[in-house]
Amino acid sequence: MAIKSLIINPGSTSTKLGIFEDETLVMDETLRHSTEEISKYDSIIDQKDFRRDIILDFLKKQNIDVNSFNVIVGRGGLLKPIQGGTYEVTDAVIEDLKKGVQGQHASNLGGILAREIADQIGVKAYIVDPVVVDELCDEARISGIPEINRISIFHPLNQKAVARRYAQSVGKKYEDLNLIVAHLGGGVSVGAHEKGRIIDVYGAFEGDGAFSPERAGAVPVGGLIRLCYSGKYTEKEMLKKATGNGGFNAYLGTNDARDVIKRADEGDEKAKLVLDAFIFQVSKNIGAMGAVLKGKVDQIIITGGIAYNERITGAMKERVSHIADVTVYPGEDELLALAQGAIRVLNGEEEPKVY
């Protein structure tokens, strides 16, 4: 009998839902929330009842019996650093999601909503590979300034999902392979996967690795310090320069890679230079991860929304294919990745992790 799952992936102004029978998507829907609706609540956690009621109302309108689900899975939020895997949503998980131990983000609601609905119908609730997955080796944590450690906040859900997908395609286990995975989206991350652990990652979250459509990535530290003390910008404005207004946004006034590609193709020399620099930097990060894995790389995987563009992936292949063959899995199927995590646990293929 198929495992029927409800997947909940909250964003800042929307809640994505997926209904699966095993790995087959039966229905997906994005429930959008207006700024006016969201602004009524002082904090993200205060939105919990509002979002839960909208989910249950949607299911009712679609004539879907909430009691028909075998499991509820939520997008993991900003918990304490944890190893990758599927975690049951326990009281400890709920407590730290509500506290926002590493910050407040809409994804914190994923596990909370999953648990509330699961408790209502008497099934388990899980989260899978949240953004705080931290499997870094000790060497990767050292930054060069003792007061600042390199951190691991990136795209583990999609990175691990495509790594497992590749492993299955070649008849091997993820835990038996060394892979480099480059996720190209609004943010960029490049991870070194050694036998099932991501031992190093460029995350571009707090100024690390290649720039992206919205993030500055690694910038020359001396110049950054001088800019901070120039008197031109507040701390808030500088943080926004690094994440939100960096990368493509800063150089070209757009965070849409398709727009940048179009402008470059039409002869815009600045757009072409920025696009080439993006390809250059991501490729350089991939090369660095090859060194982390001591040159023993079974495959390079390029994924994320930007990976749909063959010009970009083709140019990256030219630069990195000497390290290993390259597979492209465009897009990021987060709903399926969340469903797969729960399925592995319910089928006994994987033990649930304890937070």
Query: CA 81 to CA 58: how far, in whole Å?
Result: 34
Query: CA 200 to CA 265: how far, in whole Å?
Result: 35
For residue 204, pLDDT over 80 is answered with no
Confidence of residue 332 (pLDDT cuts 50, 70, 90): confident
For residue 247, pLDDT over 80 is answered with yes
Q: What is the pLDDT of residue 103?
A: 87
Please check whether residue 145 lies inside any domain of the structure: no
Please check whether residue 141 lies inside any domain of the structure: no
For residue 78, give both structure tokens.
């900003």
129 and 163 share one domain: no
Query: CA 164 to CA 157: how far, in whole Å?
Result: 11
Q: Judging by beta carbons within 10 Å of its beta carbon (0-12, 13-18, 19+), is residue 79 exposed, middle or buried? A: buried
Find out whether 352 and 129 touch, Cβ atoms under 8 Å: no
Please check whether residue 147 lies inside any domain of the structure: no
pTM, to two decimals: 0.92
126 and 205 share one domain: no
220 and 290 share one domain: yes
305 and 341 share one domain: no
Beta bridge partners of 183: 189, 303
What's the rounded mean pLDDT across residues 32-38? 86
154-179 pLDDT, tens digit each: 999 999 999 999 999 999 999 999 99
Confidence of residue 208 (pLDDT cuts 50, 70, 90): very high
For residue 205, pLDDT over 80 is answered with no
197 and 259 share one domain: yes
Higher per-residue pLDDT: 142 or 105: 142
167 and 283 share one domain: yes
Q: CA quadruple 44, 47, 48, 52: dihedral positive or negative?
A: negative
Find out whether 89 and 123 touch, Cβ atoms under 8 Å: no
CATH of the domain at 33: 3.30.420.40
Please check whether residue 296 lies inside any domain of the structure: yes
Q: What is the pLDDT of residue 163?
A: 98
Count structural domains, the chain.
2
For residue 105, give both structure tokens.
């983000």
Please check whether residue 248 lies inside any domain of the structure: yes
Domain limits for position 111: 4-134+334-346
Q: What is the pLDDT of residue 231?
A: 97
69 and 162 share one domain: no
17 and 58 share one domain: yes
Confidence of residue 128 (pLDDT cuts 50, 70, 90): very high
Instruction: For residue 211, give the amino acid letter.
Output: F
100 and 193 share one domain: no
Confidence of residue 17 (pLDDT cuts 50, 70, 90): very high
258-298 pLDDT, tens digit each: 999 999 999 999 999 999 999 999 999 999 999 999 999 99
171 and 278 share one domain: yes
325 and 341 share one domain: no
124 and 66 share one domain: yes
